[in-house]
Amino acid sequence: MDKDLLRILFMGTPDFAVGSLKSLVENGYNVVGVVTMPDKPAGRGYKLQPSPVKQYALQQGLSVLQPERLKDEGFLNELKRLAVDLQIVVAFRMLPEVVWNMPPKGTFNLHSSLLPQYRGAAPINWAIINGEKETGVTTFFLSHEIDTGKIIFQEKTTIEDTDNAGTLYDRLMTMGAQLVLKTVDAILGENIELIPQDRLFKDASELKSAPKIFKEDCLIDWNKSVREIYNHIRGLSPYPAAWTELVTENDEENLRFKLFESEPIEEKAHNFPPGNIRTDNKTYLDVAVKDGFLRITALQLTGKKRMTITDFLNGYRFEKEAHFG
C-alpha cells in the first residue's frame, strides 16, 4: 500500500505530540482525523483553550474529534466511519481495547523512554531524577497493560549532565517524530520484527517506573546528596519545578521557592547542617547538603517572576538564621 492510501488516525494532546503529527502531515502521509482532549479552561479568565494538537490540526484543515469518553457510542461510530487502517498515539491517554484493536494494521504508541524501563506518565522527568546516562524513544503496538506491548523500534540518546527536563523533552520530541515516520514506513512495507518486552529483562525488580508527578514529589529533601538534589532540580525544570521553603525567624509563614537551575559543589569537609545557607547576598547562594553545597543559579519566589540569583539578590537579603527545610 502506498503511504497516501494508508488512512491514519492520530491521537495526542501536548506539544510533544505536535512534532509527530507535523512530521506526518509535512511528509505527505494521509492523516484522516485527529483525536485530542476536550478544550480546558486556562488563563486569568478561565476561557476554554484548545490543546496544542488541536490548534495545529485545525491550521492544517484536519478533522478533529474530542470525546469525553472513549467508549462513547457516538465516538466509536465516528471511528468506524473514518475506516482508518492505522492509529498512532503520542502523549494521549489510555485507550480501551475497543478503540486500539479497531484498525486492521493496529495501533502503535510513541513512548519517551527505552521500554521496558520507565513505563508511565513521566519518563523524561524520572530518567533525569534517577541520574540515568541514557534514554530514548520507543514505538510499540498497544496491548492490554499500559506500555507493555511488543516493541517495534527504539532510538537512544545520551542524557548530558547539563540536560534538564526541558532540553531532553525537545530532543526526544524531534527523535520521536522521526521514529514515528520510520515505524509507519516499516508497517507499510510489512518489514517489522516485533520484540516482546519480557525478552529485555530477567526480573521485574530490574524495572524502574515513571508515575505521574505530584506536588509532594517536587519537594526537595536537603538530607540527600548533592548529586541527588541536583538531578532532582533539573529533572523537574522547567516544569513542574522543584520547590523548597525558606525558614526565617521574622516571617510567620515560610517563604516558598521554586528552583530551576543549580550547580553541584562537592565539599565533604564542611560544618553546615543540611539546608543551611552560605551567601554573600550579592552574587551567589549555596545551600548545604551532607557532601557539599548546591549553588542555586535560577529561582522563583511565590508570586514573583523567575530570576537569576544575581537579579534576585539585588532585591532580597537572606538573614543569618534563614535556612531551607
* Residue 111 Rama label (left phi>0; alpha psi -120 to 50; beta): beta
Give a yes or no: residue 2 inside a domain.
Answer: no
Q: How far is it, in rounded angstroms, from Cα 157 to Cα 163?
A: 12
Question: Domain limits at 197?
Answer: 8-206
One domain, residues 194 and 279: no
User: 297, exposed or middle or buried, with CB in 10 Å at 0-12, 13-18, 19+?
Assistant: middle
Place of cell 526565617: 248
Give a yes or no: residue 3 inside a domain.
Answer: no
One domain, residues 100 and 153: yes
Q: If pLDDT is split at 50, 70 and 90, which confidence band does 284 have?
A: very high
Per residue in 228-256, pLDDT tens? 999 999 999 999 999 999 998 776 678 89
Q: Are 79 and 99 in contact (CB under 8 A)?
A: yes
One domain, residues 90 and 193: yes
pTM summary value = 0.95
Residue where a domain stops, chosen among 140, 171, 206:
206
Neighbours of 189 (CB within 10 A): 9
Give a yes or no: residue 151 inside a domain.
Answer: yes
Query: In terms of DSSP bridges, do strands 292-301 and 285-289 run parallel, antiparallel, or are they unpaired?
Result: antiparallel
Per residue in 112-160, pLDDT tens? 999 999 999 999 999 999 999 999 999 999 998 999 999 999 999 999 9
Number of domains in the chain: 2
One domain, residues 180 and 245: no
For residue 183, which of 142, 122, 134 has the smallest C-alpha distance?
142
Question: Is residue 44 scored above 80 in pLDDT?
Answer: no
One domain, residues 70 and 178: yes
Q: Provide the pLDDT for residue 252.
A: 64
Per residue in 311-322, pLDDT tens? 999 999 998 888
Residue where a domain stops, chosen among 206, 236, 271:
206
Q: If pLDDT is split at 50, 70 and 90, which confidence band does 16 have?
A: very high
One domain, residues 259 and 177: no
